[in-house]
């Protein structure tokens, strides 16, 4: 069970990462903070591109940063998203592609997805709840 103080820390780091978002096309800024099994926290932000296709979500940015640094086991992720330049005004739940990438490296039953909302509020769900009956690495072993 993730502690409230850790939830608050992850939300704060996700919101800080959000300020580094590069989103000139959608004007929608997202930040993420990924808690690794070893206790380290890796952040990410969405990065868009003039060719559109190469853009990446904040969640995958954080996961790919962590994996490329040698971490492959994750406990939780906080996500904070809203229009650029505005405080958090909505709950930005991870897109389907990001949920599937989380599935690759996390235990669906225990991985907590924290979605930050307005006024310091948040929603928390396991990956199993947001990606039920999923296909994963175990299908191919």
Interatomic CA distance for residues 47 and 8, integer angstroms: 24
**Closest to ligand THU by CB, 52 or 68:** 52
Closest to 63 (Cα-Cα) out of 15, 97, 27, 90? 97
Residues found near ligand THU in the complex (CB under 6 A): 23, 26, 28, 30, 46, 48, 55, 57-59, 92, 94-95, 98
Whole-number CA gyration radius for the chain:
14
* Shortest distance (Å) from residue 60 CB to ligand THU: 8
Closest to 79 (Cα-Cα) out of 42, 19, 30, 26? 30
* Shortest distance (Å) from residue 26 CB to ligand THU: 4
* Shortest distance (Å) from residue 119 CB to ligand THU: 21
For the question of residue 59 being annotated catalytic, the response is: yes
Alpha helices, DSSP H, located in 22-136: 58-68, 96-105, 127-130
4, 37, 59, 86: the catalytic one is 59
The answer to whether residues 73 and 37 touch, using CB atoms and an 8 Å cutoff, is yes
Query: Which residues carry out catalysis?
Result: 59
């Amino acid at each position: 069970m993730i502690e409230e103080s850790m939830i608050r820390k992850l939300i704060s780091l996700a919101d800080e990462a959000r300020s580094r978002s590069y989103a000139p096309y959608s004007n929608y800024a997202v930040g993420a903070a990924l808690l690794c099994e070893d206790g380290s926290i890796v952040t990410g932000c969405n990065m868009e591109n003039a060719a559109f296709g190469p853009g990446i979500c904040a969640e995958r940015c954080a996961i790919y940063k962590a994996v490329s640094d040698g971490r492959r086991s994750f406990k939780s992720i906080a996500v904070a998203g809203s229009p650029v330049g505005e405080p958090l005004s909505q709950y930005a739940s991870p897109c389907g592609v990001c949920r599937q990438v989380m599935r690759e490296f996390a235990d669906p039953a225990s991985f907590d997805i924290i979605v930050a909302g307005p006024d310091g509020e948040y929603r928390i769900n396991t990956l199993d709840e947001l990606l039920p009956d999923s296909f994963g690495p175990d299908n191919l072993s």
